[in-house]
Structure 1
Amino acid sequence: MQPFVLESPAVRLEVPGPADVDAIVEACQDPVLQRFTTVPAPYSRADAQFFLERIVDHGWATGREATWGLRGPGSSLLLGVVSVRLGTRDIGFWTTPAARGRGLMTAAVRLVADWALGDAGLDQLHWEGYVGNDASAAVARRCGFTYTGVGPGMHPGRDGARPLCWKARLRPGDEHFPKQGWPDLTGGVGDPPREWPRADGVDDSARQPQGAPRLPEDS
């Protein structure tokens, strides 16, 4: 699969490359990002280079995972990453601390979801985030994902266990507006994890990740 650009008046999504190493390394030092993702901790330039070569490039070349770097219109500065694993039909994303709260990832996820459920031919797209990751959940909710409950994550965490995750699903034809039924997303990142109804009808099969860890964080 050949990489391609997705863009709207709000954001431009293009494949991250070697020029983005410094931005990726800096972003992955963020304690919040480390808390809610499985990026290596500590995170080094070698980790960023592995991500670009073995995850991004390999994912596109094999057609197993499509990864984009988030940028503002007319800017080369990397503000985040969003990716879709086509085999497990799930989306993950993160933004740099300075770019949060501006609606950029919401715009990016809408673009990627439209592609995944359209040209890519997926019959549904799954989102999951660690319980308590209100910011990532808020993005999914704004993009029209339907909350389906809480259950073990599709992909293992750093310790090899499958973390407890909120789950949601988007299907072709779903409207891109917030749905009822989501947890209260007003808590802060320091709040203790909350528990909600178990996921209903979500495929929790324990597939091993094909590349990058899920990166579910934005505001």
Structure 2
Amino acid sequence: MQPVALRTARLVLDLPVEGDVARVAEYCTDPLFEAYLTTPWPYTEAHARGFLTEYVPGSWRSATELTWAIRSASGEPLMGVIGLRLPTREIGYWLGAEHRGSAYMTEALLAVCEWAFAELPGTETVTWRANAGNLASAMVARAAGFRSTTTPETTVPGRDGADLDGWSGERGATPDPGAYESWVPLLGGAV
């Protein structure tokens, strides 16, 4: 599959490239990444280079994971990353610390979901999983119309391959009207 660029009102989602190595390496040293993501830890520039020069282009070619850089405009520095794993249609994302709190990730997530429903045949739902306790990721999923599907048995793979307690959600082409309320057991009334 060839990489596809997506545009929103404030963002461009395009192919992460080798020129993004320094930004990816910097952002992936955030202590939140150790707690909530499966990225290698400690994260190094070599990890970023391998991700950007081997994993991302290889995964687009094989259509196993479609990964976009999140930017404010074409040619601007990378702000974060969002990826869609195939064939499961599971989404994952992260944003650099200085870009959080501006609803950029919700905007990017909505764009990828809309594209998947329109352009990937057989896409009926997009799923999301995160380590239990990842409030920021859950709040983005909720804001993008995902319904919580978390059960006591929900797990996510840990960095070492062991299963960890997880949270999960899913979204159809049209958000479920009760989606927001489904998050109350996890998020309470958090905004």
Q: Secondary structure at the match of 1:181?
A: helix
Relative CO higher for 1 or 2, CA cutoff 8 Å, sep ≥ 6?
Answer: 1
Structure 1 distance, partners of 2:177, 2:8, is 15
Q: Secondary structure at the match of 1:113?
A: helix
Question: 1:74–1:178: structure 2 CA closer, same or farther, 3 Å change rule?
Answer: farther
Q: Secondary structure at the match of 1:164?
A: strand
Is the aligned partner of 1:60 residue 2:42? no
Q: Secondary structure at the match of 1:78?
A: coil
More helix by share: 2
Question: 1:78–1:147: structure 2 CA closer, same or farther, 3 Å change rule?
Answer: same
Question: 5+ residue gaps in structure 1?
Answer: 189-218
Question: 5+ residue gaps in structure 2?
Answer: none
Q: Which residue of 1 aligns with 2:26?
A: 26
Structure 1 distance, partners of 2:81, 2:68, is 6
Q: Which residue of 2 aligns with 1:135?
A: 136
Structure 1 distance, partners of 2:21, 2:93, is 17
TM-score scaled by length of structure 1: 0.80
Output the amino acid matched with 1:164: D
Following superposition, the deviation at residue 184 of structure 1 comes to 4.1
Structure 1 distance, partners of 2:132, 2:145, is 19
Identity of aligned residues (%): 36
Is the aligned partner of 1:16 residue 2:16? yes
Following superposition, the deviation at residue 176 of structure 1 comes to 8.8
Q: Is the 8 A contact 2:23 2:78 kept in 1?
A: yes
Following superposition, the deviation at residue 74 of structure 1 comes to 5.3
Q: Which residue of 1 aligns with 2:187?
A: 185
Following superposition, the deviation at residue 54 of structure 1 comes to 2.9
Q: Which residue of 2 aligns with 1:39?
A: 39
Is the aligned partner of 1:171 residue 2:179? no
Q: Is the 8 A contact 1:7 1:111 kept in 2?
A: yes
- Give a deviation string over 1:142-181, Cα, whole Å, max 9, x none: 0000111233435x21121121111111112226995212
| Cα-Cα RMSD | 2.2
Q: Is the 8 A contact 1:142 1:178 kept in 2?
A: no
Q: Secondary structure at the match of 2:180?
A: coil
Q: Which residue of 1 aligns with 2:124?
A: 123
Q: Is the 8 A contact 1:143 1:178 kept in 2?
A: no
Question: 1:14–1:64: structure 2 CA closer, same or farther, 3 Å change rule?
Answer: same
Question: 1:181–1:152: structure 2 CA closer, same or farther, 3 Å change rule?
Answer: closer
Q: Is the 8 A contact 2:12 2:73 kept in 1?
A: yes
Structure 1 distance, partners of 2:70, 2:13, is 5
Question: 1:129–1:187: structure 2 CA closer, same or farther, 3 Å change rule?
Answer: farther
Is the aligned partner of 1:98 residue 2:93? no
TM-score scaled by length of structure 2: 0.91
Q: Is the 8 A contact 2:18 2:53 kept in 1?
A: no
Structure 1 distance, partners of 2:118, 2:149, is 22
Structure 1 distance, partners of 2:177, 2:79, is 23
Q: Which residue of 2 aligns with 1:108?
A: 108
- Give a deviation string over 1:22-44, Cα, whole Å, max 9, x none: 00000011001221001111111
Q: Is the 8 A contact 1:144 1:177 kept in 2?
A: no
Q: Secondary structure at the match of 1:127?
A: strand
Which sits farther off after the overlay, 179-188 or 134-143? 179-188
